[in-house]
Amino acid sequence: MTAVQTTPPPRLPVRDKVAARNRGWGGVSPMLARLADERATGVLVRERGTLCLAEGRVVHADSPAAPGLDVLLTAHGTLDAGTWRQALAETGDRHRAGHLLVDDGHLTPGALELCRLTALYDAAYFALAPSSTPGRFRYGTEADTGPGPACGCPMPVAALERETLRRRDLLHRIWPDPTTDEAPLTRTHRAALPAPTSRQRAVLAVLAEPAVVRTATDIARELGRPAFHTLVDIRRLAAAGVVSPRHDRRAARPAPVEAAGTPQAPETREAPEAPDPFAGIPTDITDPHITLLKRLRDALEAL
């Protein structure tokens, strides 16, 4: 009997978990991942912000939705606003202004670097948001990466993408509706259960004036906080039914005037009111599922 030798089939590809993790769980921006592999230097311009790269690492991020380094430094007394403006006028850009403030003893190196990292992560979250237009990359030297405060420890792209995805997942678990992230907000004047935290009370205080229209970005700038942290507070308040998107109320339609001699419609009997399915549940229950069901019930009753 003659044995026939055949070529063994190729091995099936095995997913490299370490490599996938280093790529940022599949990647947020394919272009950004490619630029990281190329160790490119320049500026990536996206729909909601920009990322500055040096040798494939992110050194600065900027977004209109996130407060800048100056707001984070001056809002809570860490640095006097006049001192910041003077340093900025002397140096011409925020990167050198930060170093000047450290050299003059107005800031410690650790405080400056912490604020830089906070501003970078905050702006990068919005810059890496899903967009409807493709990004554009301008190659250049490290000096051409923009006037922003370059981070002293450049951030690997994979780490930045992992943090961006973690933040998206956190917001989705708190409250899956992203409408409150960009829409004008209003208070519903409902009692929050449990009682709001000090950070949430500060957000509600900003929204206490109904005549002023504010979004999450406006609130973050007014409070001098990172925009993402403000989104967390707002989504928790939205899940509790305390904050909602602000919609223009439609004018109530006047009741039709009946002409003389018009036959009246036959009298109808009202159906008995349905029992409240949550009547037996104590009011101090804070289960988010029950809170969501109550909100759905209230919305259906308002239709």
pLDDT of residue 260: 42
| Residue 261 pLDDT | 44
Angle, CA of 217, 228 and 240, to the nearest 5°: 90
H/E/C letters for each residue in 81-143?
HHHHHHHHHHHCCHHHHHHHHHHCCCCCHHHHHHHHHHHHHHHHHHHCCCCCCCCEEEECCHH
CB 127 within 8 A of CB 48: yes
149, 116 Cβ separation under 8 angstroms: yes
pLDDT at residue 247 in the model: 76
> Which pLDDT score is estimated for 206?
93
Amino acid at 205: A
Contact call for residues 154 and 58 (beta carbons, < 8 A): yes
Residues 124, 164 contacting (CB under 8 angstroms):
yes
Q: Report angle CA 108, 112, 115 to the nearest 5 degrees.
A: 140
pLDDT at 258: 43
**Ramachandran assignment for 6, one of left (phi > 0), alpha (psi -120 to 50 degrees), beta (any other):** beta
pTM: 0.71
Predicted confidence at residue 170, as pLDDT, reads 96
DSSP assignments along the chain, one per residue = -PPPP-PPPPPPP---HHHHHHTTTT-S-HHHHHHHHHT--EEEEETTEEEEEETTEEEEEE-TTS--HHHHHHTTSSS-HHHHHHHHHHHSSHHHHHHHHHHTTSS-HHHHHHHHHHHHHHHHHHHTS--SS--EEEE--GGGS-SS---SSPEEHHHHHHHHHHHHHHHHHH-S-GGGGTS-EEE--PPPSS---HHHHHHHHHTT-TTS-B-HHHHHHHHT--HHHHHHHHHHHHHTTSEEE--PPPPPPPPPPPPTTPPPPPP-PPPPPPPPTTTTS-TT---HHHHHHHHHHHHHHH-
Using CB atoms within 10 A of its CB, is residue 206 exposed (0-12), middle (13-18) or buried (19+)? middle
**Which pLDDT does position 47 carry in this prediction?**
94
* pLDDT tens for the 303 residues of the chain, in order: 555 566 665 555 454 545 444 444 446 899 999 999 999 999 999 999 999 999 999 999 999 999 988 898 888 777 888 898 898 898 887 778 888 888 888 888 888 888 899 999 999 999 999 988 889 999 986 555 554 445 557 899 999 999 999 999 999 999 999 999 999 999 987 876 778 999 999 999 999 887 889 999 999 999 999 999 999 999 999 999 999 998 755 433 444 444 444 444 444 444 444 455 444 444 444 555 666 666 666 666 655
Contacting residues for 289 by C-beta, under 8 A, at least 6 apart: none
Beta bridge partners of 136: 45
